[in-house]
Amino acid sequence: MPIIEVPAPGWRRERSALKTVFVLNGPNLNALGKREPGIYGGKTLADIADECRQAGSKLGLEIDFRQSNHEGDLVDWIHEAGEKAAGIVINAGAYTHTSVALRDAIKGVDALAIEVHISNVHAREEFRHHSYMAPVCVGVICGFGVASYELAFDAIVPLLEKRAAKAA
Ligand code: CA2
């Protein structure tokens, strides 16, 4: 009698739910852990990338983690995410408060985008209270330290599942 291996239902669900999420980081975030630990904590961007990959893999997400100090790179990566990813988690740093280009790029792609910040921007200087990107993102998570990224993954999974179910 042939032996047929039947994968556990959970395994099947986990594999089929695998989705790519681009995690995009803007200017100065490469300096995390080196200065201003009172505001941003002591973790480096490499630590955050590791934590994001671990948290993402638990949720069946494939995380593509990137950082640039250049606005155009971020625009290009948003376009790339539109081709290759289901979601975008973006901490655009100071470009959040200045960039119409990032807003237009997010608006122009199908990938769902969530804006994140490590600090609570609303408890800081007034110029940080406004985000050009927030109106074109599905939501904004800020003020939870590095956990803001993981909270964004928790938030995006059901949205991606809903989208996939609609498309099926
Ligand atoms: O809280 C956040 O995640 C921010 O996006 C961080 C940005 C800031 O401009 C936003 O308003 C809020 C700053 C990026 C990190 O800047 C550093 C500067 C010096 C040392 C370490 C980080």
What digits encode the pLDDT tens for the residues 61-86?
999 999 999 999 999 999 999 999 99
For the chain, give the percent of residues with pLDDT over 90.
Answer: 83
Residue type, 1: M
Residue 68: per-residue pLDDT: 98
**Ligand 1 contact, 118 CB (< 6 A):** yes
Whether the CB of 35 sits within 6 Å of ligand 1 = yes
Whole-model pTM: value is: 0.91
Confirm or reject: Cβ of 48 under 6 Å from ligand 1.
no
Is residue 79 part of the annotated active site? The answer reads no
Domains of the chain: 17-167 (3.40.50.9100)
- Cβ atoms within 10 Å, residue 40: 19
Ligand 1 centroid, distance to 28 Cα (angstroms): 6
pLDDT band of residue 14 (cuts 50, 70, 90) is very low
Position 35 scores a pLDDT of 83
CA atoms within 13 Å, Cβ hemisphere of 165: 6
Mutate to test the pocket of ligand 1, among 43, 96, 129 (most ligand atoms within 8 A of CB): 96
Given pLDDT bands bounded at 50, 70 and 90, which one contains residue 18?
low
Among this protein's residues, is 149 annotated catalytic? no
DSSP-derived secondary structure letter, 157: H
CB 70 within 8 A of CB 97: no
- 30 by Cβ neighbours in 10 Å (0-12 / 13-18 / 19+) ranks as middle
pLDDT tens digits, one per residue of 85-143: 999 999 999 999 999 999 999 999 999 999 999 999 999 999 999 999 999 999 999 99
Q: Is the CB–ligand 1 distance for residue 28 below 6 Å?
A: yes
**pLDDT class of 50 with cuts at 50, 70, 90:** very high
Say how far apart CA 34 and CA 36 lie, in whole Å: 7
Indicate which atom in ligand 1 lies nearest the CA of residue 93.
Answer: 5
68 close to ligand 1 (CB < 6 Angstrom)? no
Q: Which of 74, 65, 149 is nearest to 109 (CA)?
A: 74
The pLDDT of residue 34: 87
Measuring CA to CA, which residue among 50, 40, 19 is closest to residue 112?
A: 19
Which residues partner with 64 through β-bridges?
22
- Contacts of 53-59 with C-beta under 8 Å, sequence gap 24+, read 55/149, 55/150, 55/153, 56/21, 56/153, 59/153, 59/154, 59/157
> Could you say which of 40, 95, 132, 149 is catalytic?
40
Q: Tell me the backbone φ, ψ of residue 98, rounded to 5 degrees.
A: -130, -20
Q: Is the pLDDT of residue 11 over 70?
A: no
**Catalytic pick among 95, 117, 132, 149:** 117
